[in-house]
Amino acid sequence: MHLLVYMDKLESFLFSNIYVSTDPSVRVVLWNSLNSYDFSSYPWIIMRDFIAILDSCDKFGDFPFYVNKSVNDFRSFVSNSDLVDLKFSCPNYTWCNNRKFSNRILIID
């Protein structure tokens, strides 16, 4: 879902709320689809559950972090979209269900 949010006459931004499939091949289709849009007219905030992480610091638990195709696909999407990961200062995780993926908010400015 994409929303164009008008704060006032001079400020507006595009907000996208997504929930990504657990199937890696479907995720790639979404990343490619989002990269095909021209969001350069507005700052873009995209958030929800990406079911992917960029780095080992984004995960919780004892499972090891491996850079695999899924991680590289997500990293490519973030890079190609000129998105920036907004880091949390505290707490590191908004919730924990003992899975190795975390929710994320990204913004293009």
Domain coordinates of the chain in residue numbers? 2-108
* Mean pLDDT, 10 residues at a time, the chain of 109 residues: 82 88 91 86 85 80 84 92 77 58 64
At 57 the pLDDT is: 78
- Which residue in 13, 48, 54, 5 sits closest to 30, CA to CA? 48
- Cα(first)–Cα(last) distance of the chain, in Å? 19
For the domain spanning 2-108, the CATH number is: 3.60.10.10
At 96 the pLDDT is: 61
